[in-house]
């Protein structure tokens, strides 16, 4: 645990760790079984960029993102992952997307075998097709289920 004077959120919330240890971020609370991701995405979610991006980016727990009604891409991806796992969807995972000229990922998505979940949008497509139609050069993916 960080001391009270420590100015940064706990290291376990550092966004790159969501790719390395994605199951650590999956909230298996029964709340997700009845959660309406589509409705929440359209009416209750506000995309909000973190104050720091890139290496100083921190993820919010999925339930906290829902309660706050806002978050950035990895926050939305974690909500979508928690929902998809609770729904028993197959092929659930997280993807980090790179855009030129940045040497680090600039966007995070969630996906399953049928859809890509990207900052409030659900698209019926595969990750390679979604990436090809986006501004991103490639997407590094990791499956959870």
User: What pLDDT does residue 59 have?
Assistant: 87
Query: pLDDT grade, residue 145 (50/70/90)?
Result: confident
25 domain-assigned? no
User: What pLDDT does residue 17 have?
Assistant: 81
Chain-wide mean pLDDT for the chain?
A: 87
Query: What is the dihedral sign for C-alpha 1, 108, 121, 115?
Result: negative
16 domain-assigned? no
Q: What share of the chain is helix, strand, coil (3-state, %, to 5)?
A: 35, 20, 40
- pLDDT tens for each residue of 104-128: 888 999 999 999 999 999 999 999 9
44 domain-assigned? yes
Q: List 138's β-bridge partners, or say none.
A: 98
24 domain-assigned? no
Q: How many domains does the chain have?
A: 1
- pLDDT tens for each residue of 5-23: 444 455 667 787 888 888 8
User: What pLDDT does residue 99 have?
Assistant: 93
User: What pLDDT does residue 15 have?
Assistant: 80
pTM: 0.88
54 domain-assigned? yes
18 domain-assigned? no
Q: Decide if 130 contacts 77 (C-beta within 8 A).
A: no
pLDDT exceeds 80 at position 2: no
11 domain-assigned? no
Domain limits for position 44: 31-143
Pairing label, strands 46-47, 107-111: unpaired
5 domain-assigned? no
- Greater confidence, 81 or 59? 81
Mean pLDDT of 51-55: 60
């Amino acid at each position: 645990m960080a001391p009270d004077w420590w100015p940064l959120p706990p290291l376990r919330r550092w966004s790159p760790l969501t790719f390395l240890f994605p199951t650590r971020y999956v909230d298996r609370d029964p709340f997700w079984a009845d959660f309406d991701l589509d409705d929440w995405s359209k009416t209750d979610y506000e995309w909000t960029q973190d104050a720091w991006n890139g290496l100083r980016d921190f993820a919010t727990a999925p339930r906290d993102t829902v309660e706050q009604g806002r978050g950035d891409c990895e926050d939305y991806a974690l909500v979508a992952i928690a929902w998809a796992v609770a729904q028993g969807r197959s092929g659930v995972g997280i993807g980090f997307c790179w855009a030129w000229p940045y040497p680090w990922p600039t966007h995070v998505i969630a996906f399953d075998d049928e859809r890509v979940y990207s900052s409030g949008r659900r698209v019926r497509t595969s990750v390679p097709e979604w990436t090809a139609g986006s501004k991103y050069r490639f997407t590094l993916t990791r499956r959870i289920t």
